[in-house]
Structures are given as structure tokens and as C-alpha cells.
Structure 1
């Protein structure tokens, strides 16, 4: 009887996945809601610094330079809301474990090039951001942007993923003080007697050990251990948790600058925002999706939705009062924990909403790069595995791929690396006699990249 009962139990059909499971495809992607929530929380902790850094650049940075600047509390609010909206749309509509927030580099371009150097009011700069977001959306929904991304050869996509890995590892090393600037050699080793550096090293060792032991939440636990040690040793000061008073003073400011939005300077600004965000987003989407094993046959399923999400978040962010919102490479931190579906991004978006009322708590992480630096470094290691899949023996692939990988960290720009690879790939293929294998769009991208270097870079 017991044997028959056991056999009946074995033959019993597997329970049907619930509605949430079906919608996000958790069973299909071999994950569960606990892992997805942990992944989304990890991604948030890895990118929470933007809540402090963005107001520092768009408000305090401009104020210190003596020009009119938005209220820091308004920038903080816009940053949190734009990030939350982008994450929710990405998770619920595109269903990818990819988070969005105002992009680093693009916020510096907005503040120090557009407003400070060109003398364009920050309200007009927001108008330019809004216009670029609308143009992005048109490209995304018409399929043009997806076609462009799919025209990029697989070898370059692998290089983009590895290059971004090195780039964010460099950000982590720099943020943790392990790598510092040097007039003689550009960069050098940091001060290992510094509490911040020692805390970063501890976090790196702890995170690496957790990862080697196979802990699914290794990155998350590493950040928690680093945060606890930092507080206990006094390296992390509770005063750093003080945030900004949320307000909506900048809401709608983007609608006041249309009169001056189409001058020669502003057209160049809009095109630059369009170009930089295009390649940053494309590179990030493929890198994160590739890390999660979601890229199929070299293509990104539902790429149009993912790209449109970036456009929606950028447009909404401009209306709220912040610079271009884009997909964040820190999403790989959540993927490394096991995030595979849109529920990861939804969780990240939830935490951005919570940050509006609980930012003092998250400020301990946001204002202490030593806590997030180890995660970025370890994630860089994970992403660098794409280097092994590049066909280095074929120089027509190896040369543009190497330039992409090297240029991203060395020029501190994802876009520069991608553009350099897009210039060299068609040329190398033509030199090899394989020009017929180059997609026509790739030739157009080569010309656009040359124009980018000639006219849109300083």
C-alpha cells in the first residue's frame, strides 16, 4: 500500500504556476519570488548612490560654480521617481531584470557642458532631455532602434559586455579608493592605511568568499557585512545618512524652455544626448541580459519594449526635473544574485519609492562607495567571462573588440568604446575581403561614430 501511494505521488502532475509566476516567467527561468526580491534589493543597494550623487552634480555642483541651479531636494525627488517609474515599466512591460536611473556621465554632461560651459539654463537643458526622450521613443516603437542594435555583430556585443565589466570594476576600484588619480601616471594605487580603502578591501574579500562558496546572495551579503563593519568601526558616520527634503519644485520646468530648445547649440546637445543614451542603453541591455542568459541567438527578445522603457523614463524624468534616465549596469549585481525576470526590476522600483520617506537609512549606502565598490568589482569579474567567447584568432574581430574593451575604462565612457569598435569593425571586415557580411546599418553606424568623435566629443 505504501509503495502504491508513493507511486501515485510520483505520478501526480506538477502544480500549475500561479498568475504572477506565469506573467513573469519565473518557473520558466528557474527562479522564484524570494530570489527575485533579493535580486531587486541588491540592485537597488548597488545603485542607490545615484540618489545622492545626482543632486550633488545637478544642484550643488552648479551652485558651487555660481550659476542658477535646481533645488537639491527637487533633484532628489525627481531622481527617485524617475528611477522608480523606469524600473516598474521595465519590469511589468518589458519584463527584464534591468533597473533604470539618471545616467552617470549624462548628468555631468547636462551640468558642466550644457549649463556651465554653453551657458544654457537648466530649464532649457531639461527641455532638450525631454525632446531626446521623445525621439528615442519614436525610434523604439517603429522598430528602427531594435534593427540597429540587432545589426551589431555578436563579437562586438561580447566585447561590449566585457568592456562594461571592466568599466564598472574600475568605477568600484576608484570609488573604494583602491585606485586614485596621479599626475605622473594618470592612475596609481590608493592609501591602504585609509579606513575607506581597508573597508573596501574587506568587502571585496568577503563578497569574493561568499561567491566562491556558491552563495546565491553573495553580493548582497557582502554589502551587508561591509556596512555593518563600517558602522561598528566608525568608518561610516551616521550623519552621512541625512538626506534631502523631497519636493517637486522642478516639476514641469522642462516645458518652459521650448523657445530656446532648437538653437544650433541645443540641436547638438539633443543629438549628443540621443547618441550617448542610445549606445549606453544598448550596451547595458545586452550586457545584463547576456549575464542573465536571456539573449537568444544573439538577439534580445522584446528589445523594442526594453528600449521604449528607457525612452519613457527619460521623458518622464525630464518632466520631473532630472537628466537622461537610462538602463543601469549595476543591474548585473541583482542578476548575479539570481534575478532573471521583471519582478527584480519591480522590486528595485519599489525601493526607489520607499527611499522618498526612508532615505536617511539608505543614505548610509548611497554616501559610502566602500559599501558598493566590492559589488561592482566582483560583478566586473563575472562580466569579463565574455572575453573568452571572442574569436581572438580572427583579427577582423579581435581588433575592434579589443578597442571596445580597452576604451571603456580608459576613457571612462561606454559610448566611446562602442563607437570606436563600430568605426573599426567594417574597415577590418573590408580589409579581410568580407565586406559583404557587414550589415548596411553597420556602415551607417560607422559614419555616425566618426561624426561623434569629430563633432560631439571634447
Structure 2
């Protein structure tokens, strides 16, 4: 069944390899499960419900991408988009979170129509390849800055905006050591380098008391406080037009850069920059965004962390079993 669905042999990969790569991708993007409720919770939304909505949106979106487009790209509520949802639309502009969810749903519907009629694909293909690559680099730097901030390596500075944090703190030390561990394993071409680095750093953090261990399994919180709570009628107000288009275009270029970066790393892009099945990938992405808004979370989009699966699969790009043959 898996062979029929994903054509594993044609892509020179195995179920075991794909599971390892998938686990690596999950661990590199799992921070959103905790960051998203923290950000969206400031609007008054139930954090437990947001946590469940984030999990379900990521699982459903990633499954849609795999089943429709057969691309190794994971999806989840996007960073930046959730901040715009909270701090601009709700806290600054004064709209309720229900109306904001309605705006996310409407932007996702427009996204879906643009994908169905191939307008979005035309827009992406019309952007010069160099600029598309630059978008991906910008997303990567943004996420790197978030990681440095959460580790305490960089802090806010009134004079320079960004300043050096206290590198003697355990969080900063662990982050730096974990980074160099991953770099060293990558240099030695160790299979699963990113996954090993994450697991070792996590275990060290728990042992040193930096991270708290809450067990392996528990019952999830209720989804009811956010499920189908979006206010579409309120989002149709003329004052929300700019918000809807902001969600639409931020997701358009954010997602485009991510798709291009991951597809290029995975060998799914031709030398001229054309991506086969781009239309299917865009439909999967817009469908996931609609599902996420119904569940109760901000815009769901493709994740640049999907590129972390490369080393988990083993082999150099372009070699049998390497990331370029990824399913």
C-alpha cells in the first residue's frame, strides 16, 4: 500500500528511512506546539484548545501534503502569521479572536481559489529564482533569531535592538553545545545528525533541570473552546479587507519561499526552477489553512524545518538514498 501511495522504490527510499526522516522533521518543528498557544493565548483563547488545534492542524496538513502532492514537506501554524494574528489584528486593531479566525478562513479560501486556477503557481514561477531563494534564506534567519532569543543567546537592546545575552546561563550553554554537536555529526556524515543532536540536548536539559519532564502520555485538553468558533460574518466587514489580504500575501510569499527551499534541497526542482506538482502542493497548503482556522488556530503553512530530514535519511544530496531522492 505504501509503495502504491508514495512510490518509495522510484524515489530510492524505504519505509524505515522515511520514518527516521519524519521523526527528525517533527522534532525540529515541535517548538510550535508550545510557542503557538503562548502567542495566541494572549488574545484570550483557551491555550489547551490551541495546543490541540495546533497538533491536529499540523497532522492533517502534513497528511494532505503527502497524500496529494507526495512531497516531504510538513505543515503547521506559521510563525510570524500567529504574531500578526495576535498583536496586530486582535490586540492593536481591537478585533475579537473569533473575527480574526474568520479572516484566516476567508484568506485560506482565496488561497485555495488562487491555487485551483493556477494563479498562485503562475505568481511563484514568475518570481526570479534568485529572489525565491532569498525568501527562503530570510525565513531561515527569522527562525534562527527566534531560536537564539528563546535560548537567551540574544536579548532585546534599546540601543541596537538586538544584544548579546548571558552566555553563562544553562539554556545558552546547552543551545551552543547542541548546535556544535549537530555540526560535528553533520561534518562526519552521521545518519540522523539533527535527530541525535536534539535528543542528546533534550536529555541533558532534563538531567540538569533546565527543562521539566512531564511524562510521556496524558489525555489532551478539550478542543471545544476554539472548534468552529470563527466569526465569518464579522470578518466580512469592510475594515477587515486589509487584514484578509495581509494574511493572504504573507502566507503566499512565506509558503512560496519554503516550498522552493525544501524542494531544491530535496532534488524536487528542475535546474530552471520549475517544480513538478507545484499545483498540488499549493492546494494541499491552502486546504490545511482552511482546516486550521476551523479547528481554532492561525494560518497553517509549509515549514522550512522540513529540510532537516535530509541528513536523517543518510547519504549526500544526489546520491542513492540521499535527500534528492526523497519521496
The answer to whether residue 103 in structure 2 is matched with residue 121 in structure 1 is no
Q: Which residue of 2 aligns with 1:295?
A: 269
Structure 1, unmatched stretches of 5+, are: 1-18, 63-68, 344-458
- The one of 79, 82, 92 aligned to 1:107: 82
Q: Determine the structure 2 residue equivalent to 1:281.
A: 255
1:115–1:125 contact (8 Å) kept in structure 2: yes
Q: Aligned-pair distance for 1:335?
A: 3.1
Separation in structure 1 between the aligned mates of residue 150 and residue 49 of structure 2, nearest angstrom: 26
Q: Does 1:39 align with 2:9?
A: no
- Structure 1 residues 240 and 196, CA, compared in 2 at 3 Å: closer, same or farther? farther
The within-5 A match list for 1:313-324 is: 313-324=288-299
Among 160, 168, 175, the residue aligned to 1:185: 160
Which of 35, 41, 62 is the aligned partner of 1:53?
35
> Shift of residue 318 of structure 1?
0.8
Give 1 or 2 for the bigger CA radius of gyration: 1
Number of corresponding residues: 316
TM-score by length of 2: 0.90
Measured on the aligned residues, the alpha-carbon RMSD in Å equals 2.1
Moved over 4 A (4+): 239-244, 339-343
Are 1:209 and 2:191 an aligned pair? Answer: no
How far residue 25 of structure 1 moved from its aligned partner, in angstroms, is: 3.2
* TM-score relative to the length of structure 1: 0.65
- Match among 259, 277, 292 for residue 233 of structure 2: 259
Kept after mapping to 2: 8 A contact 1:90/1:342: no
Cα deviation for residue 258 of structure 1 reads 3.0
- Note closer, same or farther for the CA distance 1:72–1:163 as it changes in structure 2 (3 Å cut): closer
CA contact (8 A) 2:133 2:257 kept: no
Deviation string, structure 1 residues 194-220 (Cα, Å, up to 9, x no partner): 000111111012111111110120000
Q: 2:6 aligns with which of 24, 32, 35?
A: 24
Q: 2:223 matched to which residue of 1?
A: 247
Counterpart Cα distance in 1 of 2:140 and 2:299:
22
Q: Is residue 114–residue 120 contact of structure 1 (8 Å, CA) maintained in 2? A: yes
The match for 1:130 is 105
Q: What SS is found at the alignment partner of 2:38?
A: helix
Separation (CA, whole Å) in 1 of partners of 2:142 and 2:312: 20
CA offset digits 1:58-104 (Å, max 9, x no partner): 12x22xxxxxx222121111111111110000011111111111111
Instruction: Please tell me whether the aligned partners of residues 267 and 325 of structure 2 are also in contact (alpha carbons under 8 angstroms).
Output: no
Alpha-carbon separation, structure 2, partners of 1:113 and 1:91: 33
Which structure shows the higher helix fraction? Answer: 1
Structure 2: distance between partners of 1:184 and 1:239: 39
CA distance in structure 1 between the aligned counterparts of 2:325 and 2:225, rounded to whole angstroms:
35
Report the Cα distance in structure 2 between the residues aligned to 1:265 and 1:342, rounded to whole angstroms. 44
User: Secondary structure at the residue paired with 2:163?
Assistant: strand
**Which residue pairs with 2:172 in the alignment?**
197
Corresponding position: 1:238 with 2:213: yes
